[in-house]
Amino acid sequence: MELEGRAPQEADAPDTLGACAPARGFAVSEFQARLRAAQRLMADAGIDALLLTTEPDVRYFSGFQTLFWQSPTRPWFLIIPASGKPIAIIPEIGLVLMQSTWIEDIRTWAAPKPKDDGISLLIEALGALASGHGRLGIMKGHESQLRMPLGDYERLIAGLSGITVVDATGLVQSLRMVKSASEIEKIAHICEIASTSFAQAQSLFCAGQPLIEVFRKFRIACLTAGADDVPYLVGGAGQGGYRDVISPPSTRALKQGDILMLDTGAVFDGYFCDFDRNFALGPASDAARRTYDTLYRATDAGLSAARPGATCREVLGAMNAVIGGSGSDVGRMGHGLGMQLTEQPSMAAFDDTVLTEGMVVTLEPSMSFGDGQMMVHEENLVIQNGPPRLLSDRASSQIEVLQ
């Protein structure tokens, strides 16, 4: 199997941590299949070219993977034509890495160049693909972003006279929502790494430890277990329960009577896990134990409902039936998972997406209790015929007590 999406390598050496890890990158045939599927949908929608600007969208069709996107300075573009291979229009600094992917038509400029950061190259390429009265697909819907300066975008559109911009968000998201076997194995692997790390909680965390040290130890545990990176780690701790689930760690020390929650998005080969675990420092209060039990049963209900053919709204309904009216107001109780920490679809009342085999999603029921406290559970799973395949080791049925 020819693997792509990586810089040229000399001989591969054994990766001591990677003995059981899936192969990195993807076979060219996988990119070919993604392209064919996109071009079929483009033909149905009468779209002459797709313009992609974000890291996951560009990576999905090219295999181009780099942390260099952390720098906001330079835009990167990938064009999907109605037929033929994608065209990369990228800063010169990315040429060598892009050449290592399956992409052949690579056009570069010496970015940054504020007066023309790829715009004239885009106008030339898109003008040829969708001339006159053509239709250009752009990601402009829910959960999308335009990763280029808005002023540059306006100049691009002004330079493409006669072309109609259409929203291609649903088209691209419908493809990315359903994962291939290779994608699922990468997500499964990083879920296993995070499960292994959470399983070390008794030796990692203890009363007296500042929360920021809890976070540090957990990050190191994930890296040591084989994660490439831990881009997302949030959580909270408080007496009888936490009140917030998105804060960075404070320097407050854990103490007896706290409930601690850690929620992690670690990464392997560009694919995320996203699940949390709750711990009690010493015996938990009745209220916390009751809440934990309710959320555990809500997750079970979600797992029972998560079948091909069910809608996201129905899965939400199954969880809400257990929780009752006291669900907290975070807008949804689960979501897609893959190259991004959160992806389409949403386990939400507004989302009628029908689950199909190969979708990787989280179930994330949450509820308020006590005096402004809240609790969140989360598991990662693959939709398949019959019961879903759990990728995260199921949380214990009762809250784990740290001694």
Half-sphere exposure of 216 (CA within 13 A, CB side): 7
Contacts (CB under 8 A) with a copy of itself, residues 94-123: 94, 96-97, 100, 110-115, 117
Contact flag: residue 231 with a copy of itself (CB under 8 A): yes
Task: Return d(Cα 325, Cα 308) in angstroms, integer.
Answer: 27
Which part of the chain contacts a copy of itself (CB under 8 A), choosing from 26-34, 188-196, 328-336, 377-385?
328-336
Decide: 346 and 312 in contact? Cβ < 8 Å: yes
Give the nearest distance from C-beta 19 to a copy of itself in angstroms: 11
Part of the chain binding a copy of itself (CB under 8 A), chosen from 86-94, 127-135, 296-304, 389-397: 86-94
Give 82 or 93: the residue with its C-beta nearer to a copy of itself. Answer: 93
- Two tokens at 157? 């559109």
Applying the rule CB under 8 A, the residues between 13 and 32 that interact with a copy of itself are 13-18, 24
Q: For residue 135, state whether it binds a copy of itself (rule: CB under 8 A).
A: no
Minimum distance of a copy of itself from residue 184's CB (angstroms): 21
Q: Which stretch binds a copy of itself (CB under 8 A): 11-19, 129-137, 194-202, 312-320?
A: 11-19
Q: Residue 143 or 300: which CB sits closer to a copy of itself?
A: 143
SS3 97: helix
248 binds a copy of itself (CB under 8 A): yes
144 touches a copy of itself by CB under 8 A: yes
Strand partners, 22: none
Q: Is 379 within 8 Å of 363 (Cβ atoms)?
A: yes
Compute the least distance from the CB of residue 397 to a copy of itself, in Å: 27
Q: Alpha-carbon distance 56 to 228, whole Å? A: 17
Does residue 344 contact residue 354 with C-beta atoms inside 8 Å?
A: no
Q: Is 345 in the site for a copy of itself (CB under 8 A)?
A: no
Q: Is 175 in the site for a copy of itself (CB under 8 A)?
A: no
User: For 254-382, where are the alpha helices, taking DSSP H only?
Assistant: 286-305, 312-323
Alpha-carbon dihedral sign for residues 181, 167, 309, 191 = positive
Q: CB within 8 A of 371, min separation 6: which ones? A: none
Residues binding a copy of itself: number (CB under 8 A): 97
Closest CA relative to residue 161, chosen from 128, 136, 133: 133
Instruction: Decide: is 256 part of the binding site for a copy of itself (CB under 8 A).
Output: no
Q: Which of 197, 340, 353, 380 binds a copy of itself (CB under 8 A)?
A: 340
Residue with tokens 């009888």: 240
